[in-house]
A = this chain, B = another copy of it.
Amino acid sequence: MARSHRHTIRVRYGESDQMGFAHHGAYVTWLEEARIEWLRAAGTSYRELEASGVLMPVIECQVRYRKPLRFDDVVELETGIVESGPSRVTFATAIRSGGELRAEGRVTVAAVTREGRPTRLPAGLVELLG
Contacts and interface: CB of A to CB of B under 8 A. Distances in A.
A120 interface: no
B60 A19 contact: no
Interface string A18-56: 111101110011001100100000000111001000010
A23 B70 CA distance: 16
Given A45-B72, A60-B64, A65-B59, A25 B29 contact: yes
Nearest to A63: B61
> Copy number of this protein in the oligomer?
4
Interface SS of chain A: helix, strand, loop or mixed? mixed
A18 B71 contact: yes
A13 to B, nearest CB: 5
Contacts of A64: 59-60
Q: Which 7 pairs across A and B sit closest by C-beta, in order of nearness? A: A16-B18, A24-B58, A47-B72, A25-B28, A62-B62, A18-B20, A14-B23
20 contacts: A12-B32, A13-B17, A13-B46, A14-B17, A17-B18, A18-B19, A24-B57, A24-B58, A25-B25, A25-B29, A25-B32, A28-B28, A45-B72, A47-B70, A47-B71, A57-B65, A58-B65, A61-B63, A62-B63, A68-B116
